[in-house]
Amino acid sequence: MFTLLYGFWKHVFKKDDYFILILGLDNAGKTTFLEQTKTKFNPDYHMMNPTKITSTVGLNIGKIDIGGVRMNFWDLGGQEELQALWDKYYAECHGVVYVIDSSEPERLQESWRAFDKILDSETLNGIPLLIVCNKQDIEDCLSVADIKTVFHESVEKIGHRDCTVMSVSALDGTNVQKSISWLLQCIRRNALNRPATQD
């Protein structure tokens, strides 16, 4: 009887698990974006003090629950030597968040090259892609239009997939909730091609 009830309980309360990669160069604000995401969607979560956030070596993990869905985030280190590890996670992911530091115009080409290399992976074909132009709260930062001009070089590689570019400030939370809601909608739409795993 217990087994039957447990099976019923598990069926009723199971969640579809989706895995999202957060990629980008070091110091782009990936961990702050993850922290802000957890704060926006988990009422009991208190964001880590941004001044205490350091460059990620390896990965940070976070999760949020929205309805019957669990979004699991893997925030990977962006240093050049760590970028070689990114593709080890591609096969299991359902979406990619690519974070760009809008306050560092001198690294924009470097960021675009890392982004363009991601798109070379056939494993990510069709996977929804959220491009976050972060640090838009900083005066004299690059505009979204400036960034699109450089990243437009990769438009053919983006191919047939959901993709958008959003103006974000991970520090103050501007557009973080909106961007995650957009990504979840796209991931659900793509579930026939990359189904959720079940908790």
Which residues are documented as binding site? Answer: 24-31, 56, 78, 134-137
- The binding site for GTP consists of 24-31, 78, 134-137
- The binding site for Mg(2+) consists of 31, 56
Instruction: Spell out the SS3 assignment of the chain.
Output: CHHHHHHHHHHHHCCEEEEEEEECCCCCCHHHHHHHHHHHHCCCCCCCCHHHCCCCCCEEEEEEEECCEEEEEEEECCCHHHHCCHHHHHHHCCEEEEEEECCCHHHHHHHHHHHHHHCCCHHHCCCCEEEEEECCCCCCCCCHHHHHHHHHHHHHHHCCCCEEEEECECCCCECHHHHHHHHHHHHHHCCCCCCCEEC
Partner residues linked to 129 by β-bridges: 96, 163
Q: What number of other Cβ atoms are within 10 A of residue 75's Cβ?
A: 25
Output the CA–CA distances (angstroms, integers) from residue 1 to 5, 12, 129, in the order listed.
Answer: 6, 17, 45
Q: Which of 36, 79, 177, 198 does the annotation list as catalytic?
A: 79
Query: Is 185 among the residues known to form the active site?
Result: no
Q: Active-site residues: which are they?
A: 79
